Amino acid sequence: MHSMKKVYSLLAALMLIGLLAACGNNESMEEGKQGNTEPKTEQVAKDSFPVTLKDAADKEITIEKKPEKIISLIPSNTEILYALGAGDEVVGVSENDNYPEDVKDKEQVAGLELNIEKIISLKPDLVLAHGSAGDMWESGLKQLEDSGITVLVVHNAESFDEVYDTIDFIAKATGHTEEASDTINDMKAKLDEIEKKAADIKEEDQKSVFVEISPAPEIYAAGKNTFMDEMLKTINAKNSVQEEGWPMINEEAIIKMNPEVIIVNYNYVDNAVDQVLDREGWQDVAAIKGKQVYTVDENLVSRSGPRIVEGVEELAKAVYPDVFKE
């Protein structure tokens, strides 16, 4: 069970950081031409249907009417739906969904594979997939489409701006554009507060940070031009890893980096911080000597949804506790 949990957690992390992304791309999400249905009220005008959207699979998908039954195949989609006030419309989620509490009462329809029969039996108006899954669900999604179910592949957001675009994209697909504006504005305001505090950190006081996303013996880390790298820049911290993406790095190279802070970004290992502190040969690394090794909630910093700003705040408190203390 422990090893299976590790597989699920690591796969979820890899999915969300894009290592499995095959069909996801960073094109801007655009709304196509709308139908000729004349809006009868101001609210209908904002969320008029049918609406056509180009998804992460580069398909133009037309949603004929406001969805009443939605299935979300990945936690970030689910959290966005709830933030938009569409929680009651959600009828199915993934095995990895755990927020908000209400998702525990929803049918679980996705893990490493899709439960096609269960999804079809729920008769959804809309299934929200995700670009980070790449080819993993391709055949299953094709089966759903062939059965007449509308499937929308949501882009794999890898920056704050792309998260905002994703929220707007899902809002247009579900008829919740007004709520999207409130959600995005709230996120931007919180992020602005964090950036203002970080601006007081002088360059000579900026800490070097190593973000570990999987443990020894195969240590993967967050490198340049990743979402985590953008988070570190937001809090005025320096990424110890200069390689692009999410490289596997040997221990000797990490020791040479000599990071001042180590962030453990996985939750499937018991006593993970102690294991890092006790690594043989690491005793002279600044983060180890100063006991500056911390865990952050993987769900907050890895899910590209509304709570990502809370993840940045948690990261900031770990790296700069004096600056970001309550």
Beta strands in the chain (DSSP E): 51-54, 60-63, 70-72, 90-94, 107-110, 126-130, 151-154, 208-214, 220-221, 238-239, 261-264, 293-295
Considering Cα of 243, then 248, then 254, then 256, what sign does the dihedral take?
A: negative
Residue 9: what pLDDT? 46
Report the share of the chain in percent with pLDDT over 90: 82
How far is Cα 82 from Cα 307, in angstroms, rounded to an integer?
Answer: 11
pLDDT in tens, 69-118: 999 999 999 999 999 999 999 999 999 999 999 999 999 999 989 999 99
Q: What is the mean pLDDT of residues 285-301?
A: 96
pLDDT higher than threshold 80 for residue 243: yes
Please count the CA atoms within 13 angstroms of the CA of 291 that sit on its side-chain side: 1
Residue 142: what pLDDT? 95
Residue 237: what pLDDT? 98
Between β-strands 60-63 and 51-54, what pairing exists: parallel, antiparallel or unpaired? antiparallel
Q: What is the mean pLDDT of residues 181-209?
A: 96
**pTM > 0.75:** yes
Residue 74: what pLDDT? 96
Residue 48: what pLDDT? 81
Residue 46: what pLDDT? 54
pLDDT in tens, 10-63: 444 444 444 333 333 333 333 333 333 333 333 444 568 999 999 999 999 999
Mean pLDDT of the chain: 88
- For residue 296, the one-letter residue type is V
DSSP string, 4-21: HHHHHHHHHHHHHHTTT-
